[in-house]
Structure 1
Amino acid sequence: MKKEELYRFVDHTALKAVTTWKEIQQLCQEARFFRMASVCIPSSYVKRAHEYFPELNICTVVGFPLGNTSTEAKLAETRQALEDGANEIDMVINLGMVKNQEYSQVTEEIRLLKEATGDKILKVIIENCYLTEEEKIRMCEAVTEAGADFIKTSTGFGTGGATLEDVILMKQHVGPNVKIKAAGGIRSKEDMELYIGAGCSRIGTSSAIAMLQDGE
């Protein structure tokens, strides 16, 4: 694929705790210039980014990066982010619930957040590095049943990022209306093409420009 096409898959990301407004501005300018799918930024910057770059598709994270805040807190974060101008929400599931085999509660939390996002996009981060294969499959089923738009491999802050094996597994077990986002550990243009070929509709990365600057 040409690099111009690959940029359309990218959620251009800056989520470190020490990310500055100057870095967010640069991220937004780059996303606009290269026509990326979105910028994925901390919720504290959403309102300002939307005011400065109203044409940009803004994504933010909820319950990030651990996922173990209450459902009520995640709902409050989601509603505020949407009010501030976000169009996409990347939520982290409660991994403790998964380990407790409380799958119906995980499904219900996702459903409530999808209800809150309405016609906006909800992506569900299941943090595959902490899950067994059975748990990954159960989360594919939960995301599908709850009506979310995307399932996402990783926060980028766990012990591991996306793997092709996980993407292939997810593709086999999500419903036809659920798309896949890979994040964490994607290091090259070739990696991006492999993940897209395996079924990913989005790539979450802070390094897209570096990866693609020498591409065709």
Structure 2
Amino acid sequence: MQINEYIDHTLLKPTATPDHIITLCDEAKQYEFVAVCVNGCYVTLAKEQLLNSEIKIASVIGFPLGAMATNAKVFEASQSVLDGADEIDMVINLGLLKAKAFKTLEHEILEIKKEIGDRVLKVIFETCYLTDTEIKIACKLSINAGADYIKTSTGFGSGGATFDTVKLMKAEVKDQLKIKASGGIKNTTTAKKYIDLGVSRIGTSSGIQIVLNPQ
């Protein structure tokens, strides 16, 4: 696979306008990225722009804090699918994880997966706020709940993906789940190292730079 086939071309800034999303989709078509990742309000627009292409649309849920009510997250996921999302990137409830409310957290992931059916579910951990033990637990909960991917970061936390964190996640899930690395990945060398570590997706707003300026 070429590196562009790993990239979720991402624009989640709160100031993103419809014109920015149209540009994002045009870039995704030009560079043949695997997906675009957008906020829920822009799923319909992205769907229109990517009509007759194979590029997937990922919508973020509970973004970026993960602290919304479960019913709100489920509804948000349902609406995104209705609007045309192929994939859902949901943020877990970090407070519940730290409070060891593991059954509640697993139930939330399960309910969202149930709502979206055979569409891809990526579970965002926001690993910069978690201990290694908490990351391992989040991996197990994601497996139990039927997720498809685990994902390192929103890109809005105090830190993004790290090689050590991805190694830890990979050791825990092995081949049971795929991994998406995101947050701070801005060059080809870094992206390729994550791929070598076993990630299946790279979430980045620097996809063009990664493809055009190998270093």
8 Å CA contact 2:187, 2:213 repeated in 1: no
Write the letter of the residue equivalent to 1:14. Answer: L
Q: Distance in 2 between matches of 1:210 and 1:104?
A: 41
Alignment of 1:58-77 (within 5 A): 58-77=57-76
Match for residue 46 of structure 1?
43
Match for residue 109 of structure 1?
108
Match for residue 143 of structure 2?
144
Q: Does 1:17 align with 2:14?
A: yes
8 Å CA contact 1:143, 1:174 repeated in 2: no
Q: Distance in 1 between matches of 2:97 and 2:188?
A: 34
Q: Distance in 1 between matches of 2:108 and 2:170?
A: 22
Report the Cα offset of residue 188 of structure 1: 1.1
**Count of matched residue positions in the alignment of Structure 1 and Structure 2:** 213
Identity across aligned pairs (percent)? 46
* Gaps in structure 1 of 5+ consecutive residues: none
Q: Partner of 1:200: helix, strand, or coil? A: coil
8 Å CA contact 2:186, 2:209 repeated in 1: no
Match for residue 96 of structure 2?
97
- Tell which deviates more after alignment, 176-185 or 49-58: 49-58
Deviations, residues 194-216 of structure 1 (Å, cap 9, x unaligned):
00000100000000111221339
Q: Distance in 2 between matches of 1:133 and 1:166?
A: 8
8 Å CA contact 2:25, 2:49 repeated in 1: no
Q: Partner of 1:76: helix, strand, or coil? A: helix
Write the letter of the residue equivalent to 1:202. Answer: R
Q: Partner of 1:106: helix, strand, or coil? A: helix
- Tell which deviates more after alignment, 61-70 or 202-211: 202-211
Match for residue 88 of structure 1?
87
Q: Which runs of 4+ in 1 moved over 2 A?
A: none
Deviations, residues 165-213 of structure 1 (Å, cap 9, x unaligned):
0000000111523000000011210000100000100000000111221
8 Å CA contact 1:144, 1:175 repeated in 2: no
Normalising by the residue count of structure 1, what TM-score does the alignment of the two structures yield? 0.96
Match for residue 168 of structure 1?
167
Q: Distance in 2 between matches of 1:31 and 1:115?
A: 29
Q: Partner of 1:69: helix, strand, or coil? A: coil
Write the letter of the residue equivalent to 1:73. Answer: A
Deviations, residues 30-55 of structure 1 (Å, cap 9, x unaligned):
11111111000111010122123223
Q: Distance in 1 between matches of 2:164 and 2:172?
A: 13
Q: Distance in 1 between matches of 2:145 and 2:139?
A: 10
Write the letter of the residue equivalent to 1:44. Answer: C
Write the letter of the residue equivalent to 2:104. Answer: Q
- Tell which deviates more after alignment, 44-53 or 70-79: 44-53
CA RMSD, Structure 1 to Structure 2 (Å)? 1.2
Q: Distance in 2 between matches of 1:52 and 1:152?
A: 26
8 Å CA contact 2:8, 2:204 repeated in 1: yes
Deviations, residues 107-153 of structure 1 (Å, cap 9, x unaligned):
11111111111110000001000001110000010111111000000
Alignment of 1:122-161 (within 5 A): 122-161=121-160
8 Å CA contact 1:91, 1:124 repeated in 2: yes
